[in-house]
A and B are shown apart, each in its own frame.
Chain A
Amino acid sequence: MNNLIELNRVWFAFGERPVCEDLSLSVPRGKVSVIMGPSGCGKSTLLNFIGGRLKPQAGEVLVDGVDVSRLNRQGLYKLRKSMGMLFQNSALLTDLSVFDNVAFPVREHTELDERLIRHLTLFKLQMVGLRGARDLKPAQLSGGMARRVALARAIALDPMLVMYDEPFTGLDPISKGVIVKLIREIGDALGMTSLVVTHDVAEGMSIADRVILLGEGRVISHGSAAEMQASRDPKVRQFIDGQPDGPVAYHYPAKNYLADLAGGDAA
């Protein structure tokens, strides 16, 4: 099996609003895959399917050959031990220090003695360059540092898959650069499969082995970063070049402008 994750014909809607319509995609093992697309096109929902926090209304979500949506609670928790997730707002446990945050999953899931936990934790903190910040509380960290700590925590149990939800959003250029470097290094050095969800084209392109472009609940296009850059598909071009209007309309669907002005809401 070359694909760690496969989505087959997934349908999902929040109430009346469809998010995924017949969505199929695959994520190769051991590579960095980047899912890009405009906001609100179901990128984060996708991560929730893979993590088993949402169930699709139809279709299957296979992770390492197992259909996540059919797992019971125990099976799901077992699978999640081999997944790490980086949340957009880092989601560090605010009452624990940086060290204890990174050690948290190890302490919860293993019976290792404290000396070994210390080694493992310091190793992960060293990877993200924050070994010196181990005694700080999350409130004392900058946004970029908090995200690096969260990253160290996500890889604490050496998972097979690390999911990144908008890892570049709201960071200064230096911190963005650090995260880009870390995602690449973690993918290469630890052999983990990385799945990045982002709308930052430049950063996304620079780390991707494979790009999947989503729009309106479907895969618009996929391929290597170079293939995407060379694409002539107007939908791909609009997103990569950041054109305000194009196949993805600038205007939210509305009735005729003149009729709207003449009519008024009271009528």
Chain B
Amino acid sequence: MLGRWTLDNVQRWGRETIFLGNILIGIPSIFGRFYLVIYQIFAVGVLTLVIILVSGMFVGMVLGLQGYNTLVDFGAESSLGLVVALSLTRELGPVLTALLFAGRAGSALTAEIGLMKATEQLAAMEMMAVDPISRVVAPRFLAGILSMPLLAALFTAVGVWGGHLVGVVLLGVDAGQYWSAMQNGVDFYEDVLNGFVKSIVFGFVVTWIAVFEGYDATPTSEGVSRATTRTVVNASLAVLALDFVLTSLMFE
């Protein structure tokens, strides 16, 4: 039982790694036809915008509320802007965006590629001498990696604005203090750039898992459904685990 499980998983990681290698080989060929990537950025990134913006807004508002309630006891509500901005740029922006991205865009990628496999569209491409990895998978992979940091940045920006809405407009923290605390306390390299690196890594991992699960899916309706579930579960776990590793490396 345990041996079989181990073997299956080791094989799976092997396939996953080889698959990544094939994608990377296929990527140069799509620079000549970048419109394929643009279209996928629309499908993967732009269509994910609404959920990212709405979630970012609410997360920022909650941060504003909770931060204010905690800080006001110490008379430190002037630091609210700093608390909101740091939580978002360092952690919540990249992590929550990645989780939402896995649920919205990752599941869609897996289902799409899995169904293309189940309906023999990938096999048909192979028979037309078109490599499905460079024609179908590589543009989606690249689009995912390019979209994630942009989405995370928007999530953070909207979140800061949501914190402002609750903290300043509703609860009466001084607007000047809110913004200046943020400006003084948030470091570009230490906070913003590290958050940016995180979001790129998460985008890479989530999209990789999503396209692999689709391509590796058992070509039946049940197989595609299981692959989609696996994408969301595995990608979310990978994001949370990687976040711990990255945080411990970046913010010693």
Contact = CB atoms under 8 A, between A and B. Distances in A.
A103 B44 CA distance: 26
B144 to A, nearest CB: 18
Interface in B108-132: 116, 119-121, 123-131
Interface of A: 51, 53, 77-78, 80-81, 83, 85, 87, 89, 91-94, 104-105, 108-109, 153
A77 B131 contact: yes
Contact of A80 (B119, B120, B128): B128
A1 to B, nearest CB: 23
A94 B111 CA distance: 14
A85 B124 contact: yes
The 9 A-B pairs of least Cβ separation, nearest first, read A91-B124, A80-B129, A91-B120, A77-B129, A85-B127, A105-B128, A81-B129, A108-B130, A87-B120
Interface of B: 116, 119-121, 123-131, 135
Contacts of A53: 123, 126-127
Given A83-B127, A87-B123, A91-B120, 13 more contacts: A77-B129, A80-B126, A80-B127, A80-B129, A81-B128, A81-B129, A87-B124, A91-B119, A91-B121, A94-B116, A104-B128, A108-B129, A108-B130
A53, A91, A93, A94: residue with the most chain B Cβ atoms closer than 10 Å: A91
Contacts of A91: 119-121, 123-124
16 contacts: A53-B126, A78-B129, A80-B126, A80-B127, A80-B128, A80-B129, A87-B124, A91-B119, A91-B120, A93-B121, A94-B121, A104-B130, A105-B130, A108-B129, A108-B130, A153-B128
A80 B126 CA distance: 8
B135 A89 contact: no
A92 B131 CA distance: 16
A81 B129 CA distance: 6
A53 B127 CA distance: 8
Contacts of B128: 80-81, 104-105, 108, 153
B190 to A, nearest CB: 44
A123 B116 CA distance: 28
Nearest to A108: B130
B119 A89 contact: yes
Contacts of A104: 128, 130
A109 B129 contact: yes
A237 to B, nearest CB: 35
Contacts of B123: 53, 87, 91
A77 B128 CA distance: 8
Nearest to B43: A95
Contacts of A153: 128
Nearest to A150: B124
B132 to A, nearest CB: 11
Contacts of A93: 121, 124-125
Nearest to B118: A89
Contacts of B125: 93
Nearest to A85: B127
A94 B128 CA distance: 16
A3 B119 CA distance: 33
Contacts of B116: 94
Contacts of A78: 129
Contacts of B131: 77
B242 to A, nearest CB: 32
B119 A94 contact: yes
Contacts of B120: 87, 89, 91
A109 B129 CA distance: 9
A109 B119 CA distance: 23
Contacts of A87: 120, 123-124
A117 to B, nearest CB: 15
Contacts of B129: 77-78, 80-81, 105, 108-109
Nearest to A83: B127
Contacts of A80: 126-129
B26 to A, nearest CB: 12
A162 B128 CA distance: 11
Contacts of A77: 129, 131
A51 B131 CA distance: 14
B189 to A, nearest CB: 42
Contacts of B121: 91-94
Contacts of A94: 116, 119, 121
Nearest to B128: A105
Contacts of A109: 129-130
Nearest to B112: A95
A153 B125 CA distance: 11
